[in-house]
Each structure stands twice: as C-alpha cells, then as structure tokens.
A and B are shown apart, each in its own frame.
Chain A
C-alpha cells in the first residue's frame, strides 16, 4: 500500500466515471506560503527538491545571474527567480521568488489533460501527475498559466512539483518547506496560511514601509495552494513574470465546462481529436508549443471568472 494512501482524490483528468472515494472523507486544504520578503535566494528548496525526488543532475552554465537555470525543467521543479529591480527614483531591490507549481484550485493542466488519470487533484488541493497514465501530449503544458509542466523527451512524459505528495500523505511537510532556512516557506492549511500571509503583509505595510505589500492568491483560477507574500502585490510581474491575472486558455475552459458535462460521448470525441493529433503530429520533443490552436481569451469581464 502506498504511503500516499491518506490522500483522497477530488478530480481526475479526463475521467469518465465517478471518482472513487470522492467526498467520502473530509480533508483540509493544504497550502504553501512563500514570503518573498524573507527569501534570501539560498536555493535550499531547490536542492531539497532534487534530493528528495532523486532527480538526475544536469549540466548548467553560467548565465550572468545567480539563478540556477532559466526555467524549471522536467528534473528541476523548483527554481528561485532572481531579479535586480531598480527604479527611477534610485531605489533598488534584489527580488527572489521561488517558482514552482502553484497547485491551482482550478488546475489548467488537469482541465487540459486528455489522459484518464494522468493528472489528479487530491481533496487537500495538491495537483499531482501520474506519469504511468501520461500520454506525453503536453496539453497540460499549454493549459498551465504558469508554464510549469515540463516534458522529458526520453520518457515522453511530463513532470512537475508534486508538493511532495508522498511526504504529505505520510504526514510530513514537503521537502522544500522543511529545508527553508529563513522560514520564508511555510506549510499548513490554506486558512492558516492565508492568515499568516495577511498578517505579514500588514506588518510590511505598517512597519516596514512597503505600502503595496499584499498576498498573491489569484482568484482567476480559483485561488492557489501556493500563495505569495509580495512587497508589491500590485506588480507581481516584477518577481520574474508572475502573472497578475493568470488564466487558463479559453480552449481548455470550454472543454471542461461545456463538453465534459455532456458526458462520455463528448469526451470520447475530444479524445479522438487528441489521438489523431498525436498520431499525425507525434509527441513534442523540443521546446513545447501549444498543441492546439490557442484562442486568445477575450478581455476579462469585470467580475470574477469561474
């Protein structure tokens, strides 16, 4: 029996029938809090991730930065983004942000995934890839507003941060959380982390002079199970292109919200399209590009988009 046995499933990608165990047990939502204002960019989280997950090393090259590599990779799920942030008024900040899967409440990857069971969302909010079921189509790559899932050309599977579901399932905190020397990473229930984050943000506003300090928990994707405290929440882009309003591409929203409710038939039609695409186009080997024609989302409506 797996150590992840304590985790219950909430959603399964492209799953036609009922989800076994769904709603059968209560489970608190978990959350990783990242306080960028106390991050020192030490990369302990990067190492803890690679070590815990026994990921193979890769060769890196100096690129005029302290950042380990330009972006996360299939064997590097967790990356501190370093930004030298200089303003016209002479103020200077060295911003460091831990970049990894945000474990969205409404996961674009899962919505986009056509393979039954390749992506699951546990009731505690963790979004986990099940490589055994992955068909390597990389729809998830296009579905992700944060550019997280990464394709391994050797195994033809896609990988990303699991929020250490093996550890969490066994009652341990994720490896990165445990390692973090300054405590800029914190783990607990989503409610508790929101509370901590808001408190810290108000301290930054009131005591440290960061008037725009705030919490990043974007509601455009139903909130995330990884949230940030930012010195300037009005400009998340300063932190290495953190999108202010992340969105799942419309094509996948449509898929999920319109076709899927029609039932299996619609789903199968969709899959046929996918399989045809796979057959004719083959899996992507290089830099993944959107496998479907992306329909630019319309300008966001004034209210919330659910």
Chain B
C-alpha cells in the first residue's frame, strides 16, 4: 500500500534518542500527543449509503466553508443522535471516508465507440446530445401505440432503465416521470434483486 499518501505521524518522528536515554531531558511529556484531528472540522449529517439500517453519519470536512476552499473529507463517524445506530458504524460505514475521497473515482465523461478497444473523452454537451439522439431514434423506430388487439398501449419496449440502490426518492421520482413519459416499461431497480 501507498504509505506516503497518509501522514502517519502527526508530530515529527525525529527524537533525540541519546539525550532521553539518560533521562535528563526536561521536555514536557504531555505536549507530545497529537491534537484531535476533528477539533476544527465542519460537520455534515448524512445517511450511510450502504445497507438499509440507515445509520446516521457525520462527515467531517476540512475547511470552514470559506470561499477559497474546496472541502476535503478527513473523517466519517457515526451520528450519536441517530436513534438506530446511536453513533455506531460497521466496517463499511467506518471506511466511508475512502468512498468519498477515492482515487479510483471516474472524473470525466467518456465514450466507447463501436468496435473500439478504449475509452475516449467526450464533453458533457456532446454526450448528452448523443444520448438524447440515440433515445429519440430508438423510440421513434420502436414505439408501440396500439397492440395486436387494437388496444392503446403507448409503450416503448426497446429501452430499459435500471436504477441503483443509492438513488434517492427524489431521483427515483424523476426517473418515473421521465421514463414513464417516454413510454419506458422496462423500468427496474436494485429493489428487484
């Protein structure tokens, strides 16, 4: 593992070995300790994104919300006020800091073209244009207004939307609104599996 990415020592590691051995060093011992790393952090209350216990978490960010600072998460701890978890967290919840500050995050839109063996960068505008174009083209070609019996069905069977487990209620409502309005019937979610 990459040792250097974290400062293990909050205070310097250089100790005057020879002097202390003989016991005459008068440095105050109490001052050696690290200070509480969250003593000046900004706290945000949130909910753990993993299981459905819904543990309350406190996300500690560095920075006092001043304009010139991009917040960085330094610690995540359980919210002791939360009636269910009462401050506790499981091994996943306890490592949430790394879920937020993670070097493996995808940071830009990319596209893989037909037949290609790699990702290409793409601008957001172009990506959204192309996706809208794909959707419309597919919808217009396959939309079913009436079934074999002549009954109105107004449905689109050729595009599926699959939603994830941490999509919020509000996002899921937008999914229902947009997808059902397009006629999408293949609407599924982690809730099924």
Chain A positions near chain B (C-beta within 8 angstroms):
1-5, 7, 9, 12, 14-17, 20-21, 42-44, 46-48, 51-52, 54-59, 75, 114-118, 120, 128, 130-135, 154-155, 157, 165-167, 169-170, 172, 175, 178-181, 183, 264, 267-268, 271, 274-275
**B33 engages A3 (CB within 8 Å):** yes
Chain B positions near chain A (C-beta within 8 angstroms):
1-3, 5-9, 11-15, 17, 20-25, 27-37, 39, 75-78, 80, 85, 87-91, 93-95, 97
Q: Which of B34, B75, B90 contacts A44 (CB 8 A)?
A: B90
**B8 engages A44 (CB within 8 Å):** no
A152 and chain B: residue at smallest CB distance:
B8
Report chain A residues within 8 Å CB of B76.
51
Docked CA distance A170–B37 (Å): 11
**A264 engages B39 (CB within 8 Å):** no
| Given A54-B8, A178-B77, A166 contacting B33 (CB threshold 8 A) | yes
Q: Which of B15, B24, B97 contacts A133 (CB 8 A)?
A: B15
Docked CA distance A154–B3 (Å): 11
Q: Which of B14, B37, B80, B91 has the most CB of A within 10 A?
A: B91
| Given A47-B91, A135-B17, A116 contacting B1 (CB threshold 8 A) | no
Docked CA distance A105–B21 (Å): 24
Report chain A residues within 8 Å CB of B27.
117
A128 and chain B: residue at smallest CB distance:
B33
Q: Which of A3, A46, A157, A181 has the most CB of B within 10 A?
A: A181
**B89 engages A44 (CB within 8 Å):** yes
A185 and chain B: residue at smallest CB distance:
B88
**B20 engages A4 (CB within 8 Å):** no
**A131 engages B9 (CB within 8 Å):** yes
**B25 engages A42 (CB within 8 Å):** no
A8 and chain B: residue at smallest CB distance:
B30
A167 and chain B: residue at smallest CB distance:
B36
**A132 engages B13 (CB within 8 Å):** yes
**B35 engages A3 (CB within 8 Å):** yes
Report chain B residues within 8 Å CB of A264.
23
B100 to chain A, nearest CB (A): 12
**Could you give 26 example pairs across A and B, Cβ below 8 Å?**
A2-B32, A3-B33, A14-B23, A15-B23, A16-B24, A20-B28, A20-B29, A42-B91, A51-B94, A51-B95, A51-B97, A54-B8, A75-B8, A116-B25, A117-B25, A130-B29, A131-B9, A132-B14, A133-B15, A166-B34, A178-B77, A179-B93, A181-B90, A183-B88, A274-B21, A275-B21
Docked CA distance A275–B17 (Å): 11
| Given A44-B94, A58-B1, A132 contacting B11 (CB threshold 8 A) | yes
Report chain A residues within 8 Å CB of B22.
116, 268, 271
Docked CA distance A16–B94 (Å): 42
Which 6 residue pairs are nearest across A and B when measured between Cβ atoms? A4-B33, A57-B1, A47-B94, A16-B23, A116-B23, A3-B36
A35 to chain B, nearest CB (A): 14
Q: Which of B7, B17, B94 has the most CB of A within 10 A?
A: B94
Q: Which of A17, A55, A132, A181 contacts B89 (CB 8 A)?
A: A181
Q: Which of A14, A52, A132, A274 has the most CB of B within 10 A?
A: A132
Report chain A residues within 8 Å CB of B78.
178-179
A63 to chain B, nearest CB (A): 18
Q: Which of B28, B29, B39, B94 contacts A170 (CB 8 A)?
A: B39
A165 and chain B: residue at smallest CB distance:
B33
A155 to chain B, nearest CB (A): 5
Docked CA distance A256–B89 (Å): 42
**A155 engages B13 (CB within 8 Å):** yes
B34 to chain A, nearest CB (A): 5
Report chain B residues within 8 Å CB of A116.
20-23, 25
A97 to chain B, nearest CB (A): 16
Report chain B residues within 8 Å CB of A131.
9, 13, 15
B94 and chain A: residue at smallest CB distance:
A47
**B3 engages A56 (CB within 8 Å):** yes
**B1 engages A59 (CB within 8 Å):** yes
Report chain A residues within 8 Å CB of B35.
2-3, 166
**A117 engages B20 (CB within 8 Å):** yes
Report chain B residues within 8 Å CB of A181.
85, 88-90
